[in-house]
Amino acid sequence: MLKRGEKGAVAEDGEEPKAEPEAKKTYVPNAGQGLVRLEYRHRWDEAFHKFLKGLASRKPLVLCVDLSVAHEKIDL
């Protein structure tokens, strides 16, 4: 018997999964020491958001990412 999540598995009610999610991973550039690249980071964020919206419009999306947003050393 297949277990939940295995390819070909069927839910108890007999329904098959409707969609397989798209999985993406990426590196997000940080704004740099003293936020010297903050303007670049804002442009990158806007472009990345547009890209993700396009992906998510087609199928469920799972995103694995380090957002590089640690403000203080304690955030690490």
Q: Tell me the DSSP string of 24-52.
A: EEEE-----GGGTTHHHHHHHHHHHHHHH
What is the dihedral angle through the alpha carbons of 47, 52, 55, 61, rounded to the nearest 10 degrees? 170
What pLDDT score does 1 carry? 52
Q: What is the mean pLDDT of residues 1-22?
A: 66
More confident residue, 26 or 1: 26
Question: Which tokens is 15 given?
Answer: 């329904």
Distance between CA atoms of 41 and 18, rounded to whole angstroms?
Answer: 36
pLDDT at 14 over 90: no
What pLDDT score does 22 carry? 87
More confident residue, 19 or 1: 19
Q: Write out the catalytic residue numbers.
A: 27, 66
